[in-house]
Structure 1
Amino acid sequence: MYQNLQRYRKNDVVTANQGRLIVMLYDGLIKQIDLGTAELRKEGPRLDLAHNALTKAQEILNELQISLDIEHGGQIAQSLLSLYRFFAKALIQANINKNSEGLPVIRQQIADLRDAWAQVQTTQCETPKQPAVGVNIAG
């Protein structure tokens, strides 16, 4: 059963378009923040589990940063890069201090970005293909 799930997930990633991949990264980021937050809030938390979750969240943020097309993305790409750096700093601080206090705020901001990307993805999928016009803001 586990192998089927792994195959399904791999197929989902391989066949996803760029917008869907970004949404999937956000989903993973939110999941890791939730795991880290939950562990840090426990009485007698397993700090290794919290550390691993927050480190995975940082790695996902790195992937989101790499996906930005700074050269063509203009101000939106620059703003996203600034946000991603802010989120990374908050995750690092939470991990160093083993304190989840600031995590719900960044989690909500990330969830808002995720929802915006999902909306764009849905709109793009519903819109008939036309010649490309405009700027690729996020790579």
Structure 2
Amino acid sequence: MLNEHDPFNAYKQTSINARAAAANPHEMVRMLLDGLLEEIQRAAGFMQRKSFEEKGQSINKCLNIVHGLDSMLDLENGSEVATKLNQLYDYCSRQLVIASVENSTTALIPITKVITDVRAGWANLN
């Protein structure tokens, strides 16, 4: 298992930090969506291995990413799209909690579908 003292992990984190610092808001959302999909996969692996502490940390990361995505929405000046994304992010947050409580990889499937669809739509904005 990688830890914070692992050179590869440190390199990867530095690379992510550099990309985030240089990213425009559109790229930042794409990076967050990609990171969320990766973290959901990690959470599923922890669930399967019954690694409850790591699962909890992973679900917490997922929730933080979803909340970060939601906080980027401009609901007052945004369009119906912002409102719909807000609703989808709320659904994902609730579903992540259910998946964690039930230790259910099946409960992660609809979240992955929603975020994959949002990611595909976001990619079409280029």
CA separation of 1:5/1:57 partners in 2, compared to 1, >3 Å: closer, same or farther?
Answer: closer
The structural deviation recorded for 1:40 is 1.2
Residue 126 of structure 2 corresponds to residue 118 of structure 1 = no
Q: What are the Cα deviations for residues 12-33 of structure 1, in whole angstroms up to 9, with x where unaligned?
A: 1111110000000001111111
Separation of aligned partners in 2, 1:33 and 1:97: 15
Determine the structure 1 residue equivalent to 2:108.
103
Residue 20 of structure 1 contacts residue 118 of structure 1 at CA under 8 Å; is this kept in 2?
no
Residue 38 of structure 2 corresponds to residue 59 of structure 1 = no
- Pairwise CA RMSD of aligned residues? 1.5
Return the structure number with greater relative CO, CA threshold 8 A, min gap 6.
1
- TM (norm. structure 2) is 0.86
Determine the structure 2 residue equivalent to 1:29.
36
Determine the structure 1 residue equivalent to 2:48.
41
Residue 30 of structure 1 contacts residue 111 of structure 1 at CA under 8 Å; is this kept in 2?
yes
Separation of aligned partners in 2, 1:24 and 1:89: 22
SS at match of 1:72: coil
The structural deviation recorded for 1:5 is 3.8
The structural deviation recorded for 1:68 is 0.1
SS at match of 1:99: coil
Separation of aligned partners in 2, 1:58 and 1:21: 17
Structure number with larger C-alpha Rg: 1
- Select between 96-105 and 16-25 the one with higher mean Cα deviation: 96-105
Once the two structures are aligned, what percentage of the paired residues are identical?
24
Separation of aligned partners in 2, 1:88 and 1:111: 15
Q: How many pairs are equivalent? A: 119
Q: Which ranges of structure 1 fall in alignment gaps of 5 or more residues?
A: 124-139
Q: What are the Cα deviations for residues 67-119 of structure 1, in whole angstroms up to 9, with x where unaligned?
A: 00001112111110000000000001111122222211210220111122122
Q: Which ranges of structure 2 fall in alignment gaps of 5 or more residues?
A: 1-6
Separation of aligned partners in 2, 1:53 and 1:7: 20
Among candidates 14, 17, 30, match of residue 7 of structure 1? 14
Determine the structure 1 residue equivalent to 2:3.
none
